[in-house]
Amino acid sequence: MFIGTIDAAASAYKTYPKAIQRALEYLRSHDFTKMEDGTYPIEGQKIYAKLQRYETRLMESCRPETHQKYIDIQYVVEGEEYLGWCPFSPDLKEEAPYDEKADVTFYEKLVPDSNLVLLPGSFAVLYPEDVHRPCCAVERGPAPVTKVVVKVSVDLV
């Protein structure tokens, strides 16, 4: 996993894999506040963005997950949320087995449990070995968030 802000990322693009660079440039070049929720192709099914508006949830109702086919770039446009994270390990217990169609495995909890706050303009790049728990409310409680999740095929990096 790596994290950053979209403005600072522009100067660091050269060190990121090309597919991640293209995804971050897409995030930098669009005003998501003026776009409808939905899926937007960037490079067909290899790289695409999912714009979503939702209310964050209490941490205990958010499930940790991993993906095998895609890297997630989670980018907060408006609002803020906790993103839980831990490295993949044998200590994790699956809550549901891998769903190939949805490209997701859910886990009972993060082991160890750590959190960071994603603020407007910040992003997290999550590889298949990064177990993450998105959509969690910060201390003030559930609140609206506008977020874009860019999916980048692992075949591209």
**Distance (Å, whole) CA 70 – CA 88:** 15
In degrees rounded to 5, what are phi and psi of residue 25?
A: -65, -40
In degrees rounded to 5, what are phi and psi of residue 22?
A: -65, -40
Q: What is the pTM for the complete model shown?
A: 0.94
Asked if residue 36 has pLDDT above 70, the reply is yes
Share above pLDDT 90 across residues of the chain, in percent, rounded to a whole number: 91
Give the pLDDT confidence of 47-76 residue by residue, as tens digits: 999 999 999 999 999 999 999 999 999 999
CATH superfamily of the 2-156 domain: YhcH/YjgK/YiaL (2.60.120.370)
Give the pLDDT confidence of 7-27 residue by residue, as tens digits: 886 676 778 899 999 999 999
Both structure tokens of 92: 């994790």
Structural domain spans, the chain: 2-156
